[in-house]
Chain A
Amino acid sequence: MADRIATVVMWGVALLITSTFAWIVGDLLVQGLPHISWDFLSSSPADAGRAGGILPILVSTLLILAVCMAVAIPLGVGTAVLLSEFGRRNQIFGRLVRYSLDVLAGVPSIVFGLFGNAFFSLYLGMGFSILSGGLTLACMVLPLLIRSTETGLRAVPDDYRRAAAALGLSVFTTLWRILLPAATPGLIAGLVLGIGRALAETAALLFTSGYVDRMPGSLLDSGRSLSIHIYDLAMNVPGGESNAYASAVVLIVLLLIINALTFRAADRWLQQRITPV
């Protein structure tokens, strides 16, 4: 009897979750899709965002993402290599770095916003800018990148390392030609997670990259991200709902596209690097 009740409850919970999901996504699509057109994607917002499109906002979003990744990838891969390949020779140092990254992974995004505002925007004098926002996000996605790159490196069989040593390859060649290409799946998983987190982020950008919805002229201009645009339209602009719906659909589609592209690029890179024929 208890068994039958439990089965019914489990299916009920699954149904509840699925239908809530359908409700959210369905609502977004039904309300958002009709407002999306080429015009919407290629024109500037007008009337505080109630009318017009989101072109400058898309450009700012991608610039913030580019700054974030340009800084986070080298830092993340370097740290992951040190932790996984040279961990034994740097034990205490490695443990400290790892603890620090564990904490960093849990820091709430609004606290990153406070820090970015105090450090990048004011202390380093970048002001409200795409640069400041991108750097703040880089700090935020770093633990994700490091953790999955490290997992990827650890999954590489030790035979690869022994074979490289037997051939007398230098550390650099071993890393660049063998270990990193072999660890690509981990690296890519980290990239996808990091990009997803960066694109979705709002709170950390409120006080670093700012609200300005004009086309950015340089990285030192303030630029409004897509997520902040949704927030602003929903909360501060009466009548901005339909464009907020459309922007939300664009944001989710952008997330899906970037995921697909990253996985495809990874496949190609992997084929080129590891199998030369």
Chain B
Amino acid sequence: MSRSRTDVPLLWTLRAVAALAGAITLLIVAFLILEAWPALQSPGIAHFLTDSSWFPASTAPQFNLLPMVVGTLVATLGAMLLATPLGVAAALFSRFYAPPVVATWFRRLLELLAGIPSVVYGFWGLVVLTPLIRQWAPPGQSLLAAILILSLMILPTIALLSETALRSIPRAYLQGAASLGLSRWATVIGVALPAARTGIASSILLAAGRAIGETMAVLMVAGNIVQVPDSLFAPVRTLTANIALELGYALEGHRAALFVSGLILLVLILLLVSLSRWIMREELNVTAGIEPYNEEARAPHG
């Protein structure tokens, strides 16, 4: 591109636009801190973990966010435990086990699943899943329902991204495995999974971020009682659901406390983003020095 006089204003316009786009994140952080500030000063951060309970609107307000933090972490962890093996298996199925036509349709189905709005998942969970759980162990709206719906929602993410990672394995690895006469399972365990491990790991982290941040689906099926759950069938309330339920009528200190929980969510997400960036950087270093017949590709477990 050659430069002409009209190009200088154009370049500055583009810079201004990009600066605006980049500033949104700062603006979000700034406004969360601004709104949370009254609560961070009084009662102070420690109260969010040490108060006896969550009664943010009473005359002697109590701000214990711990049950919600536990709710978020337990629901996310449960969903990860369920969705990770299923998602990776779905990716392996589509890449190594399904005939080409089946694989194409299966992938389309996963894309459709990924596109279903979370409120629809929540609605289905509320009217179909929770009554089933209620028959088994009342009240039905429970940690288990939250875990099941969340895993259903993040499974397509894990499967589709892991499939992409499996697809980008160098062809020579698989040819090497084939020429050694490895069985399909030995190829998967010994060659494909190790070679695609960073891509799979980052898909899992991305899915964890989605699970932590998910609001509607969990809100609709989890029961939303403020308590540290003592069983899978106990209702829980997550950080996100807490905000959605209470922001509508929250005033002053209560409102500020909800913005504090927003900040906590943001910090959790920041940790995950940094972690996945760090893992991807490791990957770049590794692949830079990799040889086609490295140890992992050679070690068959079958």
On A, residues with C-beta under 8 Å from B are 2-3, 6-7, 9-11, 13-14, 16-18, 20-21, 23-24, 27-28, 74-76, 78-79, 81-83, 85-86, 90, 93-94, 96-97, 100-104, 106-115, 117-119, 123, 139, 142, 146, 161, 164-165, 168-172, 174, 196, 199-203, 206-207, 227-228, 230-231, 234-235, 241, 244-245, 248, 251-252, 255
Q: A17-B86, A100-B26 are in contact. List 16 more A-B contacts (CB 8 A).
A: A6-B188, A14-B90, A17-B113, A17-B155, A79-B21, A82-B14, A82-B17, A97-B21, A107-B25, A108-B215, A111-B262, A114-B262, A117-B247, A146-B21, A168-B2, A251-B117
Return the 5 tightest CB-CB contacts between A and B, nearest first.
A108-B213, A200-B117, A78-B17, A97-B22, A203-B215
Contact A111 B213 (CB under 8 A): yes
Contact yes or no, B302 A108, CB < 8 A: no
Binds A, one of B55-63, B179-187, B196-204: B179-187
Interface SS of A by simple majority? helix
CB distance from A203 to the nearest CB of B (A): 4
A240 to B29, CA, bound (A): 38
Given known pairs A9-B89, A14-B93, A203-B216, the reply for A3 and B244 (CB within 8 Å) is: no
- A233 vs B258: C-alpha distance in the bound complex, in angstroms? 25
Chain A neighbourhood of B243, CB < 8 A: 110, 113-114
Q: Is the CB of B124 within 8 A of A79?
A: no
CB pair B18–A78 under 8 Å, yes or no, is: yes
In the complex, A114→B19 CA distance in Å?
A: 22
Tell me the nearest residue of chain B to A210, going by C-beta.
B248
Chain B residues 183-230 with CB under 8 Å of chain A are 183-186, 188, 209, 212-216, 219-220
Q: Complex formed: what's the CA distance from A14 to B107 in Å? A: 11
Instruction: With A18-B106, A93-B15, A168-B2 as known contacts, state yes or no: A234 contacts B22, CB within 8 Å.
Output: no
Number of interface residues of B (CB under 8 A): 86
- Is the CB of B1 closer than 8 A to any CB of chain A? yes
Residue-wise interface mask of B (115-154) relative to A, using a CB-CB cutoff of 8 A (1 in contact, 0 not) = 1111111111011100000000000000000000000100
Determine whether the beta carbon of A170 is less than 8 Å from that of B27: no
Taking the closest CB of chain B, its distance from the CB of A215, in whole angstroms, is 22
* Cα separation A245 to B117 with both chains bound (whole Å): 13
How far is B157's CA from A111's CA once the two chains are assembled, in angstroms? 21
Chain B, residues 33-47, CB within 8 Å of chain A (1/0): the string is 011000000000000
Q: Which residues of B contact A24 (CB under 8 A)?
A: 116, 121, 124
The residue on A at minimum CB distance from B16 is A78
A235 to B125, CA, bound (A): 12
Q: Is there an interface contact between B240 and A118, defined as CB atoms closer than 8 Å?
A: no
Closest CB of chain A to B59's CB: distance in Å? 25
| Residues of B with C-beta under 8 A to A94 | 18
Is B123 touching A86 in the complex (CB atoms < 8 A)? no
Interface residues in B4-29 (C-beta closer than 8 Å to A): 4, 6-7, 10-11, 13-15, 17-28
B90 touches A206 (CB 8 A): no
Give the interface SS of chain B, mostly helix, strand, loop or mixed: helix
A-B pairs with beta carbons under 8 A, tally = 249
* B290 sits at the interface (CB 8 A): no
* 23 cross-chain CB contacts under 8 A: A2-B185, A7-B97, A10-B97, A11-B97, A21-B109, A27-B128, A76-B21, A79-B18, A97-B21, A100-B24, A101-B21, A108-B215, A110-B265, A111-B262, A112-B28, A115-B28, A123-B31, A139-B28, A165-B1, A168-B2, A230-B119, A234-B126, A241-B127
Task: Give CA–CA (A230, B219) in the complex, Å.
Answer: 13
Instruction: Find chain A residues with CB under 8 A from B28 CB.
Output: 104, 107, 111-112, 115, 139
Q: Is B266 an interface residue (CB 8 A)?
A: yes
* B173 interface contact, C-beta 8 A: no
Q: Are A10 and B266 within 8 A (Cβ)?
A: no
Whether B120 and A13, one on each chain, are in contact in the complex, defined by CB atoms closer than 8 angstroms, is no
Q: Are A11 and B1 in contact (CB under 8 A)?
A: no
Set A10, A119, A196, A234: member contacting B123, Cβ < 8 A = A234
**A203 in contact with B244 (CB, 8 Å):** yes
> A192: shortest Cβ distance to chain B, in Å?
10
Give the distance in Å from the alpha carbon of A6 to the alpha carbon of B269 in the complex.
35
Which B residue's beta carbon lies closest to that of A108?
B213
Selecting from B161-169, B270-278, B281-289, the interface stretch reads B270-278
